[in-house]
Structure 1
Amino acid sequence: MASRKIQKSRSGSYLISLPKSWAEEADLKKGDRVKIRKEEDGSLSLLVSEERSKINHKLVLEDFKSVHSLQDTIKACYMQGAETISVVSEDGTITEVKEKLRPIVLDLIGSEIYKDRPDKIVFRVLVDPTKFSMQNLIERVHSLISSVFQHALDALKSNNPEIASDSSQRGEDAKRLYRLMIRETKLANIDKEIASAIGIENKGEILVFTIAARGLSRMAHHTVEFASLISEFCEKLSQEDIQLVLEMSNTVQEMVDKSIKSLIEKKYQAGSRGSGPNERD
């Protein structure tokens, strides 16, 4: 660990020199700016300026065994906070692959195709993370889940499978919001200003919301599967079976609603108490 002697300027400011090796690794030059951030434990962190702290990824086509794995990696880069994701080919052309990659912008909120060349395609993410609070994203995913769930129950009650027929599309909408939530928690971990803007107060809450995002994603997946099963079998179920499903569904919906309420209000222990309703509210 290196140490530096604190000096004082004529104007009264306190000065300290930066380690040369660190400045060279960060490619800092005279006139560049760095951010100084106070951490929770009182220590200070130095961050390169916003212009230099953008996360960019370069993916070489030949490194991937399939287009599917490349698509998954592009989505992972998005969730890690990348602002640009470049896919290039060492062989000189990726024309056929690009046709399969272009639709991926529909799966990544706020993304676009920035450059499209014979040997390269570049995705750019323009979404402003500070415009989507964690509460807003949680409520939107919860609304989608509740909508799919309710339509499945309506299909069951009316013996009309068509009512639940669009559940898969709303499941895809929930996946897009999940990716944005993970992206936001990643950026919040890097930038304290972003964390504050989206309603995250400390490092512990980043972990809480990351786990919550994954839980909501799984919940959306299972709800879509439930709707699909109802659409397929509702006409074959007996009235007794239907009644049992409806009773269990009421309990499940109540549990989900209370869990979401506790999460939004940051009452993280509310769902673990088993006593009266006053302790949960």
Structure 2
Amino acid sequence: MEIRKVQITGGSSYIISLPKEWVRDSGIEKNDPLGLIVQPDGSLTVTPKITGKMAERTKIFNLNDIDNAETLYRLLIGAYVTGFNTIKIITPARIPSFAHKAVRQFIQASIGQEVSEETEKCIVIKDLLNPGEMPFENVISRMYVIMDGMLRDSMFALKTRDKDLAEDVISRDRDINRLYWLISRQYNLLLRNVSLSREMGMDVEMALHYLQVSRIMERAGDQVVRVAENVQGLLFVSLERKLMDILHILTSEIMNIFHSCIDSFFKRDLAGTDETLLKVQNFNRKCDDASKELSDISRLGVITVGYIFENLKRISEYAGVICETSLNYIVMEDS
């Protein structure tokens, strides 16, 4: 850290000199404008990036070092999440078929990515999404709506013995994943260019809490997938009406709890967060009680139903973690 003293000029203006190496490396000339951003902790960020536009960052993957679609797909996701807005895939020979497959999967799994150029030896993927077009709050809300629909459709598939619907629920998990990856990307873009905070509507510290919530929701979505997979094992099993009623009650209750924790996070509602934490504890006890009742039932499917109770309990626990994140967020803002 360099220490520089503040000076007064003109009797009322406070000035401080800039590090010469930083000025040279940043390409700053005389009379160039600089952006000043006050951070939540009181520090001041000085940046030459005053337009709020993303810097052009290009990642190149040479297929000489990659020989399968799965590896290339993971690398493309990594480049996307870390904020590269141009991705080039090159090879001295012809682009192999596995690369085309990986690119198609990547385009479907990401948001705002499109192939802008393609030749026999090169594929160029460009980011067409403006960071300000997808506010963090809207993305989190969309993740909740998808989760809610997945869980409700899982129960409807069980009720109607609809195998296709259960499979469709499982496939929707990729929509939650792509939204989580989008928030991760937005966060990384904000880290590299704090001037984007105005366009995104939040600072880095606030964005971190949204990133944490999205990660928790992505894991909760995995548990919803487990519910749908267990439902597939019950489609041809005759369940007692009592078990069906318990499942419907618990699934409805857990999504109401999840909605409460997300709503409290958005509103910075301390009382609502505390109330939701109590609901989480009560719901977990209900799941434990429901699991104990299964010991009195000697029919096919009770073990699988027990697994669903555990899945719902895990979803509830994730809601509790979001509440704890919300409390941290509220304390941070109050300070």
Task: Please state which band the TM-score falls in when normalised by the shorter chain.
Answer: 0.7 to 0.9
Deviates more, 1:238-247 or 1:47-56: 47-56
The aligned counterpart of 1:47 is 47
CA spacing shift, 1:114–1:225, aligned 2, 3 Å: same
Same amino acid, percent of matched pairs: 21
TM-score (norm 2): 0.69
Query: In structure 2, how many angstroms separate the alpha carbons of the residues matched to 1:40 and 1:216?
Result: 26
How far the C-alpha of 1:58 sits from its partner, in A, is 2.5
Q: Which residue of 2 aligns with 1:225?
A: 226
User: For 1:182, which of 175, 179, 184 is the aligned residue?
Assistant: 184
Q: 1-side partners of 2:163 and 2:114: how far apart?
A: 36
Deviation of residue 153 (structure 1)?
1.0
Partner of 1:209: 210
Superposed displacement of residue 241, structure 1: 3.5
CA RMSD of aligned residues (A): 3.3
Counterpart in 1 of 2:59?
57
**Most deviating of 115-124 and 73-82:** 115-124
Within 2, Cα distance between the matches of 1:133 and 1:171? 21
In the TM superposition, residue 244 of structure 1 has moved relative to its aligned partner by 3.6
8 Å CA contact 1:81, 1:184 repeated in 2: yes
- Residue type of the alignment partner of 1:215: I
Structure 2 match to 1:100: 101
Q: Does the alignment pair 1:152 with 2:154?
A: yes
Query: Is the alpha carbon distance of 1:47 and 1:86 closer, same or farther for their aligned partners in structure 2, counting shifts above 3 Å?
Result: farther
Q: Does 1:79 align with 2:59?
A: no
List aligned pairs for 1:123-272, cutoff 5 A: 123-192=125-194, 194-200=196-202, 203=205, 205-239=206-240, 240-267=242-269, 269-270=273-274, 271-272=276-277
Contact kept in structure 1, 2:152 and 2:252, CA below 8 Å? no
How far the C-alpha of 1:191 sits from its partner, in A, is 4.2
Query: TM-score if structure 1 supplies the norm length?
Result: 0.80
Displacement of 1:19: 3.1
Please give the per-residue CA displacement for 1:197-233, whole angstroms capped at 9, x wherever unaligned: 4443561x22211111111112222213322331342
Q: Quote how far apart the aligned CAs of 1:79 are.
A: 1.6
Which residue type is aligned with residue 138 of structure 1? I
For 2:93 and 2:47, locate their aligned partners in 1 and report how far apart those are by CA, in whole Å: 37
Residue 155 to residue 5, structure 1, CA distance change in 2 (3 Å): closer
* Residue pair 2:6, 2:16 contacting (<8 A) in 1 also: yes
Cα pair distance change 1:61/1:16, threshold 3 Å: farther
| Number of residues of Structure 1 aligned to a counterpart in Structure 2 | 275
* Equivalent residue letter for 1:140: R
**Structure showing the higher helix proportion among its residues:** 2
Rounded to whole Å, the distance in 1 between the matches of 2:23 and 2:159 is 67
Unaligned runs of 5+ in 1: none
Q: 1:66 to 1:211 in 2, by over 3 A?
A: same
**Matched-pair contact (CA < 8 Å) for 1:6–1:14:** yes
